């Protein structure tokens, strides 16, 4: 047993103390075409930034940052400059297994405000380090974590119709691709939202129906609409009010009409613990991109499970490497509710040598070493913007 451990488990393969230090970090901004209407992409494109971390011996790992400026303050430009000018220099020379040291260094370089600063940018470094640690150890991440993953993850089809008449055709499109479960974007119009929920439940009586308001209701409206959404067949309500309306979350949880999930307001495990103590939530819609990567996302899942609260798998319309990380996390922690990972629904143009293949509304949990996927570096370099 080595003195130091990787995420609570001694590393296999190369000894922790013998790991080659980080020599270089490269970043590559790319764009994925977006197909169909999705409220968070005003342009038909999804920007992302690949991160490649290279050790002294030439071993490398790939990560990815997925900024969505209509969802959070991090823009493609700010992520790129933060990675190049602050985060990359902070991790040079570190042991690639020492994720605690890497996050400490990143948090010194970019300080927190209420919570972790620039978490989406930091996630790119974190994922690349996880991929690198897996390659150095010659193991998959679930194996390094001491967990047996699910073979496949069920997906949820995202519905954000502009008119109610679009609902049935959009659901049929999802069904043709094998989806059997649906998540709906709601707020700020309760009348529209309730009718949308009723139509989805009528057309899919056995589905898991997940409503996500993205903080779009005011507190009074949220309290009024939650029982009605429950009556309309909704199973859970995610982020009903803005993240800073803590008393409203407490009121909604006390009301008990629906399980209340937090999303945007939970970046680190620190505030998650506080919010649990304050009884603000019934669970979290997890996103590794939001939590500065897998390191703290794992902590958060363990905190939630210990408290007996829900863990649902979500994402930021993740492509490629970011999607692989989410699948590994949810597979390793046996998340059996359908996951709202809508990258395969809305994005085209994978940069992986072997892109993900949807089968009957499910995706396979990557089984290779590290993140289990291999980006096409030549193509990334050619198409980097």
- Region 257-263: mean pLDDT is 98
Q: Tens digits of per-residue pLDDT, 314-341? A: 999 999 999 999 999 999 999 999 999 9
Domain count, the chain: 2
Q: Which pLDDT band holds residue 271 (cuts at 50, 70, 90)? A: very high
Q: Is residue 3 part of a domain?
A: no
- How far apart (Å, rounded) are the C-alpha atoms in residues 42 and 55? 38
pLDDT in tens, 123-168: 999 999 999 999 999 999 999 999 999 999 999 999 999 999 999 9
Q: Is the pLDDT of residue 9 over 50?
A: no
Same domain (yes/no): 189, 97: no
Beta partners for 28? 50
Neighbours of 110 (CB within 10 A): 16
Residue of 224, 220, 309, 314 lying closest to 264 (CA atoms): 314
Q: How does pLDDT run across 38-56, given as a tens digit for each residue?
A: 999 999 999 999 999 999 9
**pLDDT tops 90 at residue 2:** no
The pLDDT value recorded for residue 16 is 74
The counts of H helices and E strands in the chain are 14, 12
Please give the structure tokens belonging to residue 69: 């400026």
Q: What is the pLDDT of residues 178-188, one digit of tens each?
A: 999 999 999 99
Please check whether residues 301 and 153 belong to one and the same domain: yes
Nearest to 220 by CA among 190, 195, 185: 190
Q: Looking at residue 14, what is its pLDDT?
A: 60
Is 126 part of a structural domain of the chain?
A: yes
- Mean of the per-residue pLDDT values of the chain: 95
Has residue 1 been placed in a domain? no
Domain hosting 80: range is 16-139
């Amino acid at each position: 047993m080595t003195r130091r451990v990787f995420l609570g488990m001694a590393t296999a393969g190369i000894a922790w103390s013998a790991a080659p230090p980080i020599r270089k970090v490269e970043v590559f901004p790319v764009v994925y075409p977006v197909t169909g209407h999705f409220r968070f992409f005003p342009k038909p494109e999804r920007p992302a930034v690949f991160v490649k971390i290279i050790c002294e011996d030439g071993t490398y790992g790939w990560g990815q940052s997925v900024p969505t400026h209509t969802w959070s303050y991090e823009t493609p430009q700010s992520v790129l400059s933060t990675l190049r000018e602050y985060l990359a220099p902070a991790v040079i020379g570190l042991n690639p297994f020492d994720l605690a040291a890497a996050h400490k260094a990143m948090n010194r370089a970019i300080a927190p405000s209420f919570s972790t600063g620039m978490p989406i940018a930091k996630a790119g470094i974190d994922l690349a380090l996880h991929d690198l640690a897996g390659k150095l150890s010659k193991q998959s991440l679930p194996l390094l974590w001491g967990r047996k993953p699910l073979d496949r993850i069920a997906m949820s089809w995202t519905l954000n119709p502009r008119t109610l008449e679009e609902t049935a055709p959009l659901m049929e499109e999802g069904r043709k691709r094998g989806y059997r479960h649906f998540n709906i974007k709601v707020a700020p119009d309760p009348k529209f939202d309730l009718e949308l929920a009723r139509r989805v439940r009528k057309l899919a009586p056995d589905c898991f129906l997940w409503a996500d308001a993205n903080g779009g209701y005011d507190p009074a409206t949220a309290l009024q609409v939650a029982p009605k959404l429950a009556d309309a067949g909704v199973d859970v309500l995610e982020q009903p009010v803005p993240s800073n309306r803590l008393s409203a979350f407490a009121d909604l949880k006390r009301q008990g009409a629906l399980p209340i999930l937090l999303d945007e307001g939970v970046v680190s495990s620190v505030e998650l613990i506080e919010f649990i103590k304050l009884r603000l939530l019934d669970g979290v819609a997890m996103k590794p991109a939001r939590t500065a990567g897998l390191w703290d996302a794992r902590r958060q899942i363990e905190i939630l499970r210990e408290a007996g609260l829900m863990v649902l798998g979500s994402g930021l319309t993740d492509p490629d490497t970011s999607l692989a990380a989410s699948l590994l996390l949810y597979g390793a922690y046996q998340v059996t509710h359908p996951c709202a990972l809508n990258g395969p629904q809305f994005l085209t143009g994978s940069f992986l040598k072997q892109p993900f293949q949807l089968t009957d509304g499910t995706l396979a949990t990557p089984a290779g070493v590290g993140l289990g996927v291999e980006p096409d570096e030549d193509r990334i370099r050619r198409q980097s913007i």
